[in-house]
Structure 1
């Protein structure tokens, strides 16, 4: 579907609008009613189109931006472009996909991680913590894990929701992946009690770090 115009795509995005899906999404801060399965099917048909992706992003429409993140070339964005995009991505789903589908694949990821983690905007900072969690799991060499735990211990309890969630994920990942820091990670989680009472569906693991860590370690055979 090379050569598809923005207007054509926007018309197709509007067609499957589901009021019930919009109601559910809006409860989570996402202002769209597009079924994500249909969105992914559309992206598969469009294939990679960087110019179209940029145009879709520039519409500011949440569904269009989600589609843009599926059809873009992550390595085509410059550092300044990604920084501007993350600051403009206020929808939780757009923010999540931008970090996970695009920034993590960018050659600028580490530079942005360092800049964003210390950013005064908690949403931007949460992106930095998400990138840090990725490194904790996959490329921990060079990270000061004890220092990260210090920062989490002093800052997570009173952090805004999205930043708190990202810091908590990092805390759990440190405990899961690094046995030498596990006891302290669990102790921090138990003392701060962040997400301790978070409603968890049957069959799902609680995001409360001590429970999360214990369950993942158990699944790995109690390493």
Structure 2
């Protein structure tokens, strides 16, 4: 069976473009109009194709980049490639999928976590915090949780939006996963009031850390 060409895939993505979907996505900073369920269906059909993924990424098209992240081979990327890709990924959904679907599966994840968390670019730093939340939950050995809480307490309130979200997730994860730090995590969240008034749809948990922590802990204890 012949490999699908980049031109064929780009034509298919163009055919899936929905102006109303684009309008809704652009309000969140994502400049594409492709339904993500349909995008995943395309990826499922294409299966893993690393070379195609690299071509899709190089188009600089948001829908194509999202598809690239679904058909790539995460462990095939060099550390420098992933660092470059993160700095190119300005659309929030591309940034999110790159971190969650690719970098977390990479052998370079821990090295990148440390480098990105200290980066001067707040969008890059937010990826470092997302990877830190993953470690807080799954492999906290070697992390200084009290020190992370110190940083969050000092910096989260005035951090740019994306970085603030990353720190807030880490705060909530510490409170949820580590009972010995829960009281302090709750206290920091209550005092800083970050995302306290965030509009939350029915049946969804608020991102306000004290509500988030208490709700997930309650579910775990049921």
Corresponding position of 2:101: 101
Cα distance change of structure 1 residues 49 and 186 upon mapping to structure 2, 3 Å threshold: same
Query: Please, which runs of 5 or more residues in structure 2 have no aligned partner?
Result: none
Corresponding position of 1:52: 52
Deviation track 1:117-173 (CA, whole Å, cap 9, x = no partner) reads 000000000000000000000000110000000000001000000000010000000
Provide the aligned C-alpha RMSD in A: 0.8
Corresponding position of 1:91: 91
Confirm or deny that 1:63 pairs with 2:96: no
Q: 1: distance between equivalents of 2:147 and 2:112? A: 19
Instruction: Give the 4+ runs in structure 1 shifted more than 2 A.
Output: none
Matches within 5 A, 1:58-207: 58-207=58-207
What is the deviation of 1:65?
Answer: 0.2
What is the deviation of 1:16?
Answer: 1.3
Q: 2: distance between equivalents of 1:45 and 1:219? A: 37
Structure 1 length-normalised TM:
0.98
What is the deviation of 1:2?
Answer: 5.1
Corresponding position of 2:21: 21
Q: 2: distance between equivalents of 1:73 and 1:151? A: 34
Corresponding position of 2:4: 4
Aligned residue pairs total 222
Deviation track 1:49-90 (CA, whole Å, cap 9, x = no partner) reads 000000000000000000000000000000000000000000
Q: 1: distance between equivalents of 2:213 and 2:45? A: 39
Cα distance change of structure 1 residues 6 and 148 upon mapping to structure 2, 3 Å threshold: same
Q: 2: distance between equivalents of 1:206 and 1:3? A: 44
Q: 2: distance between equivalents of 1:142 and 1:91? A: 32
